Amino acid sequence: MAKITIDDVTKRFGEGDESIIAVDDVSLDIRDGEFIVFVGPSGSGKSTLMRIVAGLETQTEGDIHIGDDLVNQLGPRARDIAMVFQNYALYPNMTVEENMSFGLKMSTDMSADEVEEAVTSAAEMMDIDMLLDDKPGELSGGQQQRVALGRAIVRDPNVFLMDEPLSNLDAKLRAEMRTEINRLQNDLDVTTLYVTHDQTEAMTMGDRLVVLNYGELQQVGTPLECFYRPANQFVAGFLGSPSMNFFEGNVEGGTLRADGFDFDLTKRMQSAVSSRNELVLGIRPEDMTLHDRANSGHEFEAVVDVVEPMGSISYVYLRARSQSHDQTFIVETDGQRPISEGQHVYVEIPDRDVHLFDAASGETIHQRQLGDDAEMALEEQIKPAE
Amino acid sequence: MAKITIDDVTKRFGEGDESIIAVDDVSLDIRDGEFIVFVGPSGSGKSTLMRIVAGLETQTEGDIHIGDDLVNQLGPRARDIAMVFQNYALYPNMTVEENMSFGLKMSTDMSADEVEEAVTSAAEMMDIDMLLDDKPGELSGGQQQRVALGRAIVRDPNVFLMDEPLSNLDAKLRAEMRTEINRLQNDLDVTTLYVTHDQTEAMTMGDRLVVLNYGELQQVGTPLECFYRPANQFVAGFLGSPSMNFFEGNVEGGTLRADGFDFDLTKRMQSAVSSRNELVLGIRPEDMTLHDRANSGHEFEAVVDVVEPMGSISYVYLRARSQSHDQTFIVETDGQRPISEGQHVYVEIPDRDVHLFDAASGETIHQRQLGDDAEMALEEQIKPAE
Amino acid sequence: TRGGDSSGGDGSDGSSDGSDGSGGSDGGTSTSGSDGELAIPLSEYEDADIDWRQFEGSSINIGAVQHPWVSAIKPAVPVFEELTGIDVVWNVLPEQQFRTKRQTDVSTGAGQFDVFYMDQVVNQFREEGWIQPLDPFFDDDSLFDEDWYEPDDLFEASRWQAHGGGYSDTWTGMPITVEVQTQFYRKDLYDKHDLEVAETLEQFRQNAQTIHENESDVVGTVGRGDKGYGMNIYILNTFLREFGTSLWTEFPTDSGLDSDGVINAAEWYVSLLQDYGPEGASTQTWSDVLSTMQEGRAGHIVSDANLFWPGLTGSDSSVADNIGIAKAPSPADGQFSPNAFNWQISTSKNAQNSEQAFLFMVWASSQPTNTWMHVEGDAAFSVRQSVWENDEFRSRVGENFAQVTLESLQEAAPDPFDRKYPQWGQRYSEELQRAIAGQKSAEEAMTKAASVAEDIYSN
Amino acid sequence: MSTPTQTETTPQSTFARLRDLWNDYLPYWFMAPMVLVMIMITFFPGAYDLYLSLIAESTLDVFAAEFVGLRNFETAFTRGGAIHSFVITITVVVSALLLETVLGFVLAALVAGVGSGRAKSFYRVLFIIPMAVAPVSLATIGRIMLNSEIGIIPYVINTGTPFAAPSFLSEVPLLTVILLDAWNWTPFMFIIFYAGLSSVPKTLIEASRVDGAPMWRRYVHVIIPYMKPVVFVATLIRLIDLFRTFGVVYGLTGGGPGTATQLVSINIYEQMFINNQITVAAAIAIVYLVLVVALCNVIIAKVGFEGVWD
Amino acid sequence: MATTDSDSATASQRLDKDTREKLITVVRHTILLTWSFIVLFPLYWLASMSLKPPGTANSLPPDWIFLPTVYNYIQLIQDSGFVAAFANSLVMVSASVVLVLLIGVPAAYVLSRYDIPMERDVLVWILSSRMLPPIAVVLPFFIIFRELNLFDTRVGMVLMYVSINLSLVVWVMKAFFDGIPETLEEAARVDGATQFQGFRKVVLPAAKPGIFSVAIISFIFAWIELLFGLVLTSFEAVPVTLFVYSFIGSRSIEWGMLAAASTAMIVPVVIFLIAVNKYLAAGLSFGVVIKE
Ligand SMILES: Nc1ncnc2c1ncn2[C@@H]1O[C@H](COP(=O)(O)OP(=O)(O)OP(=O)(O)O)[C@@H](O)[C@H]1O
Ligand SMILES: Nc1ncnc2c1ncn2[C@@H]1O[C@H](COP(=O)(O)OP(=O)(O)OP(=O)(O)O)[C@@H](O)[C@H]1O
Ligand SMILES: [Mg+2]
Ligand SMILES: [Mg+2]
């Protein structure tokens, strides 16, 4: 149980020209007991940052504090952490049980019985109790991952580090595990850093999200904050699945002229835009609506490119009728709505759900509006985070 | 390019009492060029079945045909397959480029230039072209996975086998990759077996879904068929995220008495139920609606346990007010709907969206109804599949 | 009769291995207070005007080769210990290993061995100053009694070799064993083919031819062909003398190896082995020669150590009953002059107990000890003429063997081991080996050998 | 792990302090005994040989020693047959090494693929045994077995095959030496390769099978590169050991016939123990050491011993 | 690994897998049995020599079938000297193997895992200790041993054997450690293991085949060592090798005894081999647990 301070940490791999900056001057204060989720595209430095916190990698620059101690010079053992490796890193020569009990034997004075009890209960939680005597090589991918997770959660460390611990599990199991991890983290109140690519995990598990791109911090905030109030186009596009649709355009007297349609900016938007010219309009697929015929001036005509039925919902890939380039955008519709490829539909972009971004810097210049209650709830969330 | 026939295949690991049945008497006809997605819980035998098709594991019983040839006796090389391993299995001593070109060099007569070209274009597709000279050890998890995928897709094999090829990618990249794989599969028209835990992939990528549990085939059908017409409770619960809610109950004169509420069975349901007594009612979270007050007799009162805001939507965990045990069910609501823990709400279960299962066998005895169009579309899908 | 070396026998029959039972190759005994009967009555030695007990309480370390002498004398060692009060510790090794060990010992000045086996390297060691000359001890009345010891009873050849083969004025050690070359033949084959035992080389060649050509699986003759200064040239050196030359016609400028006599001798030996010898004769060492003969695969051994006798007539031999022994043949017009070889024991300058060592040498080579070893034990290598004339001994080993050996020894002329003999001898034997292997003619080989030998001294 | 002194714990009790000291300086503790032994067994012998190689006559009294510059080296090369022995040695080394490496690897790979556990164990044990036959036993018994008249091997060849057995020691001595060495020491390669093979991850092999690599290419491109450090080390060590081979060859041929199998080690032996020219022997040894060190450096520089994970 | 497979057939020209597999098995075992014969024949001959009655050891045509006699072995066993030397060697050699592993394996680990300054030079230096033929270094060793009072002591011989094998252990084990991915130790360190524990509990078990291989090789190297044993001992610490050669006399060779002693010397090695047999092949090979 400890707060973690990441102070201007940079990590370079390799020397000279060849060098890669995996983590770029990241600073972050993590409160004691907080659950922090790292997200970011592949290769954005999530694992590296985590390994630096673990003491497995030495940062090129910057400091790491755990609790009040500067731990730059300390190895993983002294930092008292438990970690789920992205690649599991199970001990091939040990059984599942030995894998799971190893950390306890190394880091605590627990008696053999206590260790066994802890391992058994963790294994039951992970639903791998019948595999305790198997060697990792005999397990399925998901089973291995659960062993890796179990190995971490039996411990009672200062800090949990979990690098995509659920990526090889099925949705159902993942939901269960998610709950278990949350429960455990609440019970133990252990500071936790968690890497995930899963939207649901990202949105539901963490107290705060940390969004990374190319090793740089993009935004730190509660999940909803990041979702509804993205700091920039990257965050807006990265969170939510399918991604937010982006339309580039030029402002011409209160109207954004995008390729294929025009969008009238509201007053608030116009003032936010001020003198900028090149803008990007962002809107999530679930916020756009499709009509069979035009109702008002706000709609524009589009052609259905592909329909991806997902069951309850469908994703419809569309192309604005008068669009010059080939790009499609996605709209989420009800799964039972009859719609077919080539069909012409009218797309409505509700004003309130629109984000605007500076085309050059990607910075958000206008955030969407939320329902009053949601807005208030969000405001409340944001405050304590500051 | 070849059809694949899996004929009563069983795989047992270990001997005698200790033995585990990983694949249990599975039969499956895969058409030439078809894209088959395997889903199932962790440890259900997906990888094993795939490895049997690859020739890496020898089935204990049964036959595998590829094309018209019985391939039981053939090694992977002769089967001419390309595979993405769940654990990547990259060659640590080779660079990314060498990893990707190895298969081409081994299995084709392509000139060095052709090989290079193929590798470069695949690498671009996977967005790893700047990593071509790195060793796998220097890559992030997602990058490694993309190399593993790239290594398979540069080839032009008879069969693609992909074992969770996208599990370590972020949502955005995953969506791109999904599209690429689909495009590629359409272009090459290569029979493809694909394992995934991702709902979106399962629903959108495959021509047919194969649902496994404990090594046994549960259902084979188009994604929508499996989603809307689950063969049994397992399939119904496994597909869709969050899972379908299940309520056990007894039939008493046209009414299902569940724990916490009663549900009046429709005529059709009643006739389907016939003399059965113990039933399970299933309904998806997205099909239930929440009301602030009771509108009709169909609703029942429930208490909000937890709210998981996901952005556009929220998952609300509820417990029926008069319920005796502790279990919760989930309802999906609009993300901006104000709702808080402890609040009392009224839950509506629309008749048409309800599935009924036999409590003992899990068999589906009543399927939900769909909108007319959707129903028709589904009927059409099902027919050719038979 | 085992060639008599394994510590197998001696460890146990010697006496209760007290202090060094764990010692491996020594099989040693160092019993001081031996209980049982002494092998030889002390009175045999008490006549001597020697102060046997002057070093009471000390001990000597003997470095020895795995050799019949060791097993023969060991049972008598308690006698020495009783007589002098000196403990004897043995360090017995196979020959090649012993050489290495001895060299290490003396060249680093360790002086571990008070007494050690000495052979062809005697002058090398002497010139390096490693060997302690024995003359001062001979001159010391408390250590030596000439009348009792009777040095003249030692074979001339033995005494000569103990003086560095003519290169030393002083005693370099005391001879303990002597072996002389004799001829061995298969009596059964001789009977079968009606052959006479050869006295001349020509006859010998004839006999070899007869057997070689008329017997399948049996070669005419075997002989040492391998290189090494104790190997093929040990045999050839006999012939070259018999062909009328000698080594070092002029020391150190003319080795004599390219003289006609040597070349003729070499040609004769080479062609003998090539024509009637075994395949690969050029690589045969004494053990191959012995084994081949033991297995009954050869008609003769032209000339080799008389010490093969036990091996050839013992249980290791499949033709034990059919082996004959005779004097080595010599050229019809030459002089009989078989090669002989003595093992001597010496003491080093660095040794702690050279005087004690000398006492041991005197005791070990004295008549009573020698006689006992040969009459009571199974030894057959005495350096004392009297032993060979001893009837008890002769009847034990066989009249024929004893007589042939005695006569040969009386005429024997050992090699003079000049100080670089090992070095040039090695090269000379290499050349001879090449000739036997047919890689060059005997003449070429000997010419080369001569120049190598002379070159080695020119430096 | 590039920082050898990453602290693992914060000190508390004396015991903990000691433990920290142990852990913090672990690499030093781990290296120290090895380095000590190495210093003992390399520095003094090396210096001693160097000293010997420069003086006229062996003496332990450094002050009395007469330094003669490079004369011993000259003697070694003009008279000592050093060049000849180097050539012979290199011949033996190269051929035996090739033979043993290939044979060792093939056998290891074949045994690794044996299905039955018992058969596997049998081969594994059997194939290692030849190494355990002591050199002089092997040489002595080898001599008698190869003896043209009474040896079992020529006998078996002559009676059991249509070929006539050569006279091994005199006609084909070098070949005999090489073959005997291969019999004796292939086990060394076998055992290390076998252990190396068993640490190649199974999935890599599976991946290469799926990639369509035929068996031999699988070995060339995947397995051997993975095992490279092991293959490299085994070969290098065997190379070095071959360079100094002595016992078996000396016992078998004594360097003959003539000087046909006069290895450097035999040459050194003869200089030292027969010619009693310890100083010349030392000179040859020094040259030899320099050459082998140089050779190893070249090999390491060319091949490198980096593993797959570096 | 290297499982029997049928990869090289293409779909068109393929043999039945059973047939192919059988064929491969036949070829495999033919080669292996041939080599077994090559290995076994001299060993058989050696053993048979030791079991033949005196005088028949070298007879031709050979007595393929003979009434074995244990005469030679009885002789050997009755010879307290041989038994003592045998036991002595066994103790010294075993001790040296333990010691050399204790010294060499950790050093190899450090060389594999840490950045050592001038690493290559250090490695070559280590290797240089086995470059000179033993005869070239035996004199200086003799001098050191006398100075340190190690001459003819078991401790001295154990150290001697250690020095013979140390370079081998260090190099071979370094190679094996190089093949073990570092992720495993990272996991151990995160699990709270000290570096030492990570080494001992995680890396060492994974390196088992390597460790047992070098153990066997070191054992054998020390067990058959002759020259140092010869020069550096005289009574107390004499190794069994010297004893074996004592049957090679000056004017006779006791073939039966020599063969018996040589055969007896093989026995501990075989026992050792059988004891560690299963470890020789127990590496990481049971499936991959880390994603490469
Ligand atoms: N080599 C093996 N030895 C013994 N059991 C094995 C082996 N490989 C797999 N199994 C077992 O077989 C079952 C099926 O494994 P498989 O890898 O096919 O599962 P999976 O469906 O791929 O699961 P996941 O989604 O977790 O990857 C599991 O229970 C697993 O423990
Ligand atoms: N050992 C290394 N040597 C060189 N480059 C490395 C090394 N480890 C990581 N990198 C590089 O650093 C960058 C960040 O890697 P990291 O593993 O932190 O990514 P990540 O965010 O975890 O990605 P993923 O989601 O794919 O796991 C990548 O570009 C990667 O190629
Ligand atoms: Mg990562
Ligand atoms: Mg799997």
pLDDT in tens, E62-105: 777 777 888 888 888 887 788 889 999 999 999 999 999 999 99
Whole-number pLDDT of residue B309: 85
Q: What is the mean pLDDT of residues E31-55?
A: 89
* C-alpha–C-alpha distance, residues D299 and E45, integer Å: 40
Does residue C414 have a cis peptide bond before it, meaning omega lies within 30 degrees of 0? no
Determine whether the shortest distance from the Cβ of B141 to ligand 2 is under 6 A: yes
Determine whether the shortest distance from the Cβ of A13 to ligand 2 is under 6 A: yes
Q: Along chain C (459 residues), what's the average pLDDT of each consecutive run of 10 residues?
A: 33 32 37 60 87 91 89 91 92 86 86 90 87 91 90 90 87 91 91 90 91 89 88 88 84 85 91 90 88 88 84 85 90 87 90 91 92 88 91 90 91 86 88 90 92 84
Taking CA atoms only, the protein residue closest to ligand 1 atom 28 is B43
- Chain B residue numbers with beta carbons less than 8 Å from the beta carbon of D308 are 92-93
Whole-number pLDDT of residue E5: 44
Question: E289 CA distance to ligand 1 centroid (A)?
Answer: 13
Kindly state the percentage of chain A with pLDDT values over 90. 54
| pLDDT surpassing 90 at residue B226 | yes
Q: Which tens digit of pLDDT belongs to each residue from A173-216?
A: 888 899 889 888 888 889 999 999 988 889 889 899 999 999 99
Measured CA to CA in angstroms, residue B346 lies from B248, B263, B312, B328, B339 at distances of: 19, 14, 21, 14, 12
Residue B108 token pair: 């084709």
Please give the number of the atom of ligand 1 that sits closest to the Cα of B48.
Answer: 18
Outline where chain E has alpha helix (H).
Answer: 17-51, 71-78, 80-113, 119-128, 134-147, 154-178, 183-190, 195-197, 204-206, 208-223, 227-232, 240-245, 255-276
Give Dmax (Cα) for chain C.
66
Whole-number pLDDT of residue E17: 58
Please report the domains of chain B, with CATH numbers, ordered by start residue.
4-234 (3.40.50.300), 241-385 (2.40.50.140)
C-alpha atoms less than 13 angstroms from C-alpha of E14 in its C-beta half-sphere: 24
Please give the number of the atom of ligand 2 that sits closest to the Cα of A212.
Answer: 21
How many angstroms away from the CA of A111 is the closest CA of chain B? Answer: 30
* C-alpha–C-alpha distance, residues C123 and C346, integer Å: 12
Q: What is the mean pLDDT of residues E113-128?
A: 88
Determine whether the shortest distance from the Cβ of B44 to ligand 1 is under 6 A: yes
Instruction: Read off the pTM.
Output: 0.88
Q: Which residues contact D46 (CB under 8 A, 6 or more apart)?
A: D289, E128
How many angstroms away from the CA of B61 is the closest CA of chain A? Answer: 20
* Cα angle, residue C134 at apex, residues C132 and C136 outer, rounded to 5°: 105
Q: Which residues contact D78 (CB under 8 A, 6 or more apart)?
A: none
Nearest CB partner across the interface for B197, out of A170, A204, A224: A170
Q: What is the CATH T-level fold of the domain D81-276, as seen in this structure?
A: MetI-like fold (1.10.3720)
Ligand number nearest CA of B140 is 2
Neighbours of A112 (CB within 10 A): 10
- Chain D residue numbers with beta carbons less than 8 Å from the beta carbon of B54 are 210
Q: What are the DSSP calls for D94-119, one per residue? A: HHHHHHHHHHHHHHHHHHHT-S-HHH
CB B203 within 8 A of CB B222: no
Neighbours of A33 (CB within 10 A): 16
CB contact under 8 A, B175 and A284: no
**Cα radius of gyration (chain C):** 22
* C-alpha–C-alpha distance, residues E288 and E292, integer Å: 8
On average, the pLDDT of chain A sits at 89
Q: Which tens digit of pLDDT belongs to each residue from B53-100?
A: 999 999 999 999 998 888 888 888 888 899 999 888 899 889 999 999
DSSP E158: H
Beta bridge partners, E11, equal: none
Whole-number pLDDT of residue B156: 86
Whole-number pLDDT of residue E15: 54
Contacting B residues, span 305-364, partner chain A, CB-CB under 8 Å: 308-313, 315, 335-338
Say if E and C touch: at least 3 Cβ pairs within 8 Å.
yes
User: Is B93 at the interface with chain D, CB within 8 A?
Assistant: yes
Determine whether the shortest distance from the Cβ of B186 to ligand 2 is under 6 A: no
* C-alpha–C-alpha distance, residues A56 and A49, integer Å: 10
Whole-number pLDDT of residue C27: 39
* C-alpha–C-alpha distance, residues E264 and E76, integer Å: 9
Sheet holding A69-70, edge to edge: A20-30, A4-13, A61-66, A69-70
User: Is B70 at the interface with chain E, CB within 8 A?
Assistant: no
- Chain B residue numbers with beta carbons less than 8 Å from the beta carbon of E292 are 87-92, 136-137, 144
Neighbours of B15 (CB within 10 A): 7
CB C427 within 8 A of CB C453: yes
From the list B267, B216, B226, the residue with the least C-alpha distance to B36 is B226
| pLDDT surpassing 60 at residue E7 | no
Q: What is the mean pLDDT of residues B300-314?
A: 88
Whole-number pLDDT of residue C36: 59
Question: Coil, strand, or helix at residue C172?
Answer: coil
Question: A169 CA distance to ligand 3 centroid (A)?
Answer: 17
Please provide the distance, in angstroms rounded to a whole number, between the alpha carbons at the two ends of chain D.
12
Q: Which residues contact C247 (CB under 8 A, 6 or more apart)?
A: C237, C240, C255, C256, C257, C415, C416
CB contact under 8 A, B69 and E291: no
Question: Coil, strand, or helix at residue C328?
Answer: coil
From the list B28, B59, B25, the residue with the least C-alpha distance to B193 is B28
Domain regions of chain D by residue span: 17-64, 81-276
Backbone CA torsion sign across A330, A331, A333, A336: negative
Determine whether the shortest distance from the Cβ of B210 to ligand 1 is under 6 A: no
Q: What is the mean pLDDT of residues B275-282?
A: 90
From the list B190, B212, B171, the residue with the least C-alpha distance to B49 is B212
The residue of chain A nearest to residue E202, with distances taken between CA atoms, is A91
User: Is D210 at the interface with chain C, CB within 8 A?
Assistant: no
* C-alpha–C-alpha distance, residues C294 and C394, integer Å: 24
* C-alpha–C-alpha distance, residues E53 and D273, integer Å: 37
Would you place residue E34 in the very low, low, confident or very high pLDDT band (cuts 50, 70, 90)? very high
Would you place residue A322 in the very low, low, confident or very high pLDDT band (cuts 50, 70, 90)? confident
Q: What is the mean pLDDT of residues E228-239?
A: 88
User: Is C229 at the interface with chain D, CB within 8 A?
Assistant: yes
Q: Which tens digit of pLDDT belongs to each residue from A121-175?
A: 999 988 999 999 998 888 999 999 999 999 999 988 989 999 999 999 988 888 8
Determine whether the shortest distance from the Cβ of A86 to ligand 1 is under 6 A: no
Q: Which tens digit of pLDDT belongs to each residue from B315-337?
A: 999 998 888 888 889 999 988 88
| pLDDT surpassing 80 at residue B372 | no
Beta bridge partners, B53, equal: none
Whole-number pLDDT of residue D68: 80
Q: Which residues contact A30 (CB under 8 A, 6 or more apart)?
A: A3, A4, A5, A6, A36, A191, A193
* C-alpha–C-alpha distance, residues B158 and B1, integer Å: 4
Question: D151 CA distance to ligand 1 centroid (A)?
Answer: 59
* C-alpha–C-alpha distance, residues C274 and C232, integer Å: 14
Please report the domains of chain E, with CATH numbers, ordered by start residue.
74-283 (1.10.3720.10)
- ipTM of the shown complex: 0.87
Determine whether the shortest distance from the Cβ of B42 to ligand 1 is under 6 A: yes
Whole-number pLDDT of residue D310: 57
CA quadruple C31, C37, C39, C41: dihedral, nearest 10: 110
Whole-number pLDDT of residue D82: 80
Contacting C residues, span 24-53, partner chain E, CB-CB under 8 Å: 24-28
Nearest CB partner across the interface for E246, out of C7, C104, C294: C7
Question: Coil, strand, or helix at residue E248?
Answer: strand
Beta bridge partners, B264, equal: B255
Whole-number pLDDT of residue C318: 85
Kindly state the percentage of chain B with pLDDT values over 70. 98
Which chains neighbour A (Cβ–Cβ under 8 Å, 3 or more pairs)? B, D, E
User: Is B93 at the interface with chain E, CB within 8 A?
Assistant: no
Backbone angles phi, psi at B85, to 5 degrees: -80, 145
* C-alpha–C-alpha distance, residues A210 and A219, integer Å: 6
